[in-house]
Amino acid sequence: MMTSSNGPARLSRTVTDSPLGPLTLVALDGALAGLYMDGRAPDAVDAAGAAAGADAAVLAETSRQLAEYFDGERQSFDVPLALDGTVFQHRVWDALRGIGYGETVSYGQLADQIGRPTAARAVGLANGRNPVSIIVPCHRVVGSDGSLTGYGGGLDNKQRLLELERRVSRVSAGWPDGTPRPRPAAARS
C-alpha cells in the first residue's frame, strides 16, 4: 500500500491510448506513481479516483510525453516520479534511467553498474517491480545473450519498444532508411 505523509495515499488515474494498447497512468501528490499495460495494474489502482489539480496536470503531461515518445520525437521523460520501493529497487531504477535510448544492457551489466556484480537476479526482480515502465526504461534490459527476457507488459511489447527506439535512432543518425549521412569533406580524415 502506498502512503503519503498524511496517511494512506489517494491515487488518481487515467487511461491513455498508445500503439501498445491502453496505458493506465497513476498519480500521487502531483507525481507519476504508476504506468501499467494490458490491465496489469495492481488492485489498489482500481480504487484510484479521477484526477484533479496537480495529479491531473502530471497525468496530462505524461500522456503528452508518451505520445511524443511513440511518435519518435522524445527519447527521455521529465515528469516528476513518486516510486514506491526499497533502497535497492531505487538504485536499480536510477540505473535504468541511465541506459541510452535505443541501447540495451544485460541484467549482469546493470548489476555491475550499481556495484553489485553478483546480484543479477536481484536486479531482475527489481526491474520487474518497476512501477513506471517506459518512463523508467526497464524494457532496455535483456538476457546475457541478448535475448528478450521477462517484461511486465509482455515480451511482444518489449520487442515493439526496442524496435521503435532502434528505428528512431537509425533515422536520427542518418537518412530515413537508416543509411549513414555522408560526412562533410572537412570532417573526413
In DSSP notation, 109-153 reads HHHHHTT-TT-HHHHHHHHHT-SBTTTS-GGGEE-TTS-----TT
Residue 188's φ and ψ, nearest 5 degrees, are -75, 145
The overall pTM is greater than 0.75: yes
Out of 1-5, 71-75, 101-105, 151-155, pick the least confident: 1-5
The per-residue pLDDT for 45 is 64
The per-residue pLDDT for 49 is 67
Is 138 tagged catalytic? yes
Q: Are 56 and 12 in contact (CB under 8 A)?
A: yes
Catalytic option among 28, 138, 142, 168? 138
Contacts of 94 (CB under 8 A, 6+ apart): none
